[in-house]
Amino acid sequence: MQMEKVALSKLSKEERRSFFQSKYDYYHSFNVRMIVVSCLAYLSFFATDCGIFGRFSYETLLSRVIILLPFVLYLVLDRKVKDYRIMVPCTYLMIHMIIWCTDWATYLLPDRQHAISGMIIMNLIFMCAGFAAPFAYSVIAHALLIADIAVANIFIQYENLSMMYMFNIPCVVAVCAMHLMMQGVYLEQFLDKNKLERLVVHDQLTEVHNRNILKGISETGTGKLTIFPNLDVCMMLIDIDYFKKVNDTYGHEAGDKVLIALAGIIKSSLRITDYVIRWGGEEFLVIIPGCTQAQAMQIGEKIREKVESADNGICKTTVSIGVALYQGGDYHETIKNADDAMYKAKEAGRNQVVLFG
């Protein structure tokens, strides 16, 4: 677990992006509700304005209600965009807009002694926003609060400017430190979650997918593949010839090494978008989207040749491969067709690639 606490810097760019997106997705609902509550609370301070003036505060009405415009735009954008790289900056922009509007209203008020009290609320909002944000984003956005104070002072002329800084700078440091610790905690959860998910859909021996992966790419009940719309999809079943003889002659540990070597050859022959699934003891199912039957036969032949010429450290092996085109409906039917083609390859002498049909 100690390694996981410092693992963020060791993750690849794509892995870090996946982590930050996962963090944003997890706290998304809380994040949006926080903005809703913050905007409603800001609007409610119009009642305070009226109390300070002792009448209806016409002077601050526009500075209060104008927040509704970016607020509505934020909600519309939130329904359409889920990328944290866009929505986290938009969230912080909304918070700073509340600050700017507050400064505007404060400038119009005859009594400005409650400015520090308002900053307590703003620091609390920044703290809440950091749950869904990458640490770097929260540091930059929260540090800009100090710049907001400096700019606002040009117009407002705070009587207690030094106290504003003395109060807010420690708050910024404390909140950012808390965000850093929280990010580390969520990273541990993220890594543990990924490990569990990998165990659920991966074969521990060969490190390719297991059958559970099909639940995520097919429609429950119908068996229809759902993630390859408008693409030709080919499937192939690959079976090691005379694998029982390998186990009987060299032992099951040796047989495992043969399986691992075959899985490596199959993966190296395919794209990252293709699926390799350990289907049975020595059988592997391959799903290739965006692939014609002719292309699938070429890929199958490439795998067959690689296996035949490879040194797996145990013994020479060959494979029989059946290829079938998925034409919609239940994917099990296509697997059956590939299985029939594979057995035709075995009946024809093994070490062959056969197309169904």
- How high is the pLDDT of residue 328? 87
Residue 325 has pLDDT above 90, yes or no: yes
Say whether 207 is catalytic: no
- How high is the pLDDT of residue 25? 94
Query: Picking from 51-60, 105-114, 148-157, 314-323, which range would have the lowest pLDDT averaged per residue?
Result: 105-114
Residue 210 has pLDDT above 70, yes or no: yes
Task: For residue 2, name the pLDDT band (cuts at 50, 70, 90).
Answer: very low
Cβ density class 117-145: b for 16+ within 10 Å, e for less:
ebbeebbebbbbbbbbbbbebbbebbebb
The rounded percent of the chain whose pLDDT value lies above 70 is 97
- How high is the pLDDT of residue 39? 96
What one-letter code names the amino acid at 350? R
Catalytic residue among 159, 197, 282, 305: 282
User: What pLDDT, in 10s, does the model give residues 265-290?
Assistant: 999 999 988 999 999 889 999 999 99
| DSSP H/E element including 78 | helix 68-80
Q: How many angstroms separate the first and last alpha carbons of the chain?
A: 53
- How high is the pLDDT of residue 206? 92
The rounded percent of the chain whose pLDDT value lies above 90 is 71
Q: How many CB atoms lie within 10 A of CB 343?
A: 15
User: What pLDDT, in 10s, does the model give residues 186-205?
Assistant: 888 888 887 777 777 888 89
Nearest to 334 by CA among 310, 313, 357, 300: 357
Say how many residues make up the chain. 357
- How high is the pLDDT of residue 110? 85
- Integer Cα distance of 210 and 198 in angstroms: 10
- How high is the pLDDT of residue 4? 40
DSSP 187-225: HHHHHHHHHHHHHHHB-TTT-SB-TTHHHHHB-TTT-BB
Task: For residue 7, name the pLDDT band (cuts at 50, 70, 90).
Answer: low
- Tell the residue number behind the tokens 């395919």, with chain if given: 270
Task: For residue 299, name the pLDDT band (cuts at 50, 70, 90).
Answer: very high
Task: For residue 297, name the pLDDT band (cuts at 50, 70, 90).
Answer: very high
Q: For all residues of the chain together, what is the average pLDDT?
A: 91
Nearest to 95 by CA among 47, 151, 39, 147: 39
- How high is the pLDDT of residue 9? 76
- Integer Cα distance of 280 and 230 in angstroms: 29
What one-letter code names the amino acid at 43? L
- Integer Cα distance of 90 and 291 in angstroms: 41
- How high is the pLDDT of residue 205? 93
Nearest to 142 by CA among 169, 102, 115, 105: 169
Query: Whole-structure pTM over 0.75, yes or no?
Result: no
What's the whole-number mean pLDDT along residues 304-327? 94
Residue 298 has pLDDT above 70, yes or no: yes
- Integer Cα distance of 6 and 94 in angstroms: 32
User: What pLDDT, in 10s, does the model give residues 107-160?
Assistant: 998 876 766 777 888 999 999 999 999 999 999 999 999 999 999 999 888 878
Tell which wins on pLDDT, 14 or 320.
320
